[in-house]
Structure 1
Amino acid sequence: MPVLASVTLRVRDAVRGVWREAAKFGVVGALAFVVDNGGYNLLVFGLPGGAEGGVMRAAPVHASVVATAAAALFSWAGNRYWTYRHQHREKVTEEVTLFLFANLVGVAITAGTVFASRHLLGLESALSDNAARAVGWVLATVFRFFAYRRYVFTAA
């Protein structure tokens, strides 16, 4: 019975650790989501009530890349100095390189959903763009969580 109790405690502690990590990752991600979507909407659609649209209204896929890149920078700082503050790499350049690679994949996922919505489905409204970005964001977030955990923020 002591072995079973020991295993149970270890599993419980591991699950709690992952949940704490996921919660911190989620907070940073939620704030990055605001930076990403807020930036995208400003770039493509402009300020609320503006008749002309944003400065990148003719380039929504490029606007998605710019907004996601700004959010990625915010995310790196938040994850490095809060979520994974006890397990980041000593070599910052190596960490940043891996982080950027993981985020390039995330950018491709998010921009790909906007591309599919605009060019394959022919949808061009703010609602369809934001729905496509939300789907892309979810897929990219799942990818990033596992990539950060396994490859980026490790004490290698």
Structure 2
Amino acid sequence: PAGAKDGDTLTMKGQGDAGRGGAANGDLRIVLRLKEDAYLSAKGPDVVYECPLNLLEVMLGGEIEVPTPSGKVKLTLKPGLPPDSTLRVKGKGLPKGNGGRGDLLVRIKYHLPAKMGVKARRLLEELVELPGWSPKRDKSGFVKKR
């Protein structure tokens, strides 16, 4: 039901065990347990989606599809999104008890490979040699302000 939370109890009158000696049926009580997964979780009526992005998506931005309780929605990402930033999509969360819906909160997570092949390593080493790809450090090792 709309607005239901983990641990809420639903009571269905007369839907339980048969009464003894002609008495009315008992009530059926159902305790709700909401299932979470590795990427989606509920925070009240809001849904939090941990969105893994590869390096290219983070740097260049672009359009991605993200899951919601009512289907997928497309988002346009700006280039250079900071790690752990959160995007809010109004009205795409869970139904609220008073009508309306919560929001979808999309948390940006950088996905970097745990292991890298020789070719990928060589390409990255070439990339950081290009102007603007590495921070400038002074003799003490501190990064210079721009």
Q: TM-score normalised to the size of structure 1?
A: 0.25
In our comparison, the structure showing a higher alpha carbon Rg is 2
Q: Which has the higher contact order (CA 8 A, sep 6+)?
A: 1
Q: Give the strand-richer structure, 1 or 2.
A: 2
Q: Which has the higher helix share?
A: 1
TM-score (norm 2): 0.26
